[in-house]
């Protein structure tokens, strides 16, 4: 049986495979950027709203995907590659209590979800960028996917949360047993040096899309 949620999962998965958010996929296909927004997936009366065959045809043409490939995404499997559901949170909310445990893994309620090709990290999460503090690398509305399981090395872009609840996205310049040096992505913002015991967790940004 074809389910409403499965169709939308396939749209989200197709977007993720091409390093796009659903709104970015809509723009690439020449559609209104809000076509695939969460709010457009149900009517005002709460009834399921399905993507039109025309919009599906346009995103297949825009990405070069075949109908068979799209159908495989509906089932949650493309070839042998699974699709992972990743919790997503507004960047401004990330500093609040109740969204991460001590290891930096997402917990609690209040998260939305996106689908993404499986990265073998069950604790991966996504943040929606707000404001201009990360320009020109990441802009307002971009989605960044963060993997706590990914190894860290000099030059990586990372999300850091301090024990005081401050959340920042920076480039890792240097890490020792006692301190971490971070470079701002936006040259108008200052670089930071943090003592190791000031940091609650730090994890690598593995993907970003518009």
Domains recognised in the chain with CATH numbers: 4-79 (1.10.260.40), 83-209 (2.10.109.10)
Q: Strands 81-90, 77-78: parallel, antiparallel or unpaired by DSSP?
A: antiparallel
Identify the pLDDT of residue 46. Answer: 83
Q: What is the pLDDT of residue 142?
A: 86
Question: Helix crossing, 4-17 with 67-74: angle to 10°?
Answer: 120
Rounded Cα distance, 142 and 15, in Å: 13
For residue 136, whether the previous peptide bond is cis, meaning omega lies within 30 degrees of 0, is yes
- pLDDT tens-digit series, residues 7-60: 888 898 888 888 788 888 999 999 998 999 888 888 888 888 888 889 999 999
With bands split at pLDDT 50, 70 and 90, how would you rate the model's confidence at 80? very low
Burial 150-175, CB ≥16 within 10 A → b, else e:
beeeeebbbbbbbeeeebbbbbbeeb
**pTM exceeding the 0.95 threshold for the entire prediction:** no
Q: What is the pLDDT of residue 192?
A: 96
What does the pLDDT average to over 68-93? 76
Tens of pLDDT, residue by residue over 176-207, are 999 999 999 999 999 999 999 999 999 999 98
Provide the token pair at 139: 């802009």
Q: Are 25 and 61 in contact (CB under 8 A)?
A: no
For position 116, what pLDDT does the model report?
Answer: 77
Question: Which helix (H) or strand (E) element contains residue 78?
Answer: strand 77-78
């Amino acid at each position: 049986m074809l389910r409403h949620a499965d169709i939308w999962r396939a749209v989200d998965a197709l977007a993720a495979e091409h390093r796009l958010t659903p709104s970015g996929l809509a723009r690439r296909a020449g559609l209104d950027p809000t076509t695939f927004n969460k709010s457009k997936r149900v009517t005002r009366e709460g009834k399921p709203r399905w993507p039109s065959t025309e919009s599906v045809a346009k995103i297949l043409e825009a990405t070069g995907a075949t109908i068979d490939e799209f159908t495989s995404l509906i089932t949650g499997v493309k070839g042998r590659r699974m699709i992972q559901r990743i919790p997503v949170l507004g960047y401004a909310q990330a500093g609040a209590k109740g969204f991460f445990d001590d290891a930096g893994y997402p917990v609690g309620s209040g998260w939305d979800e996106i689908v993404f090709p499986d990265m073998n990290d069950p604790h991966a999460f996504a943040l929606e960028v707000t404001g201009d503090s990360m320009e020109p690398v990441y802009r307002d509305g971009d989605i960044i996917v963060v993997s706590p399981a990914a190894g860290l090395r000099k030059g990586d872009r990372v999300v850091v949360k301090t024990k005081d609840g401050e959340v920042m996205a920076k480039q890792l310049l240097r890490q020792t047993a006692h301190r971490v040096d971070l470079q701002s992505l936006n040259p108008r913002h200052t670089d930071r040096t943090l003592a190791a015991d000031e940091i609650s967790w730090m994890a690598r940004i593995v993907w970003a899309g518009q």
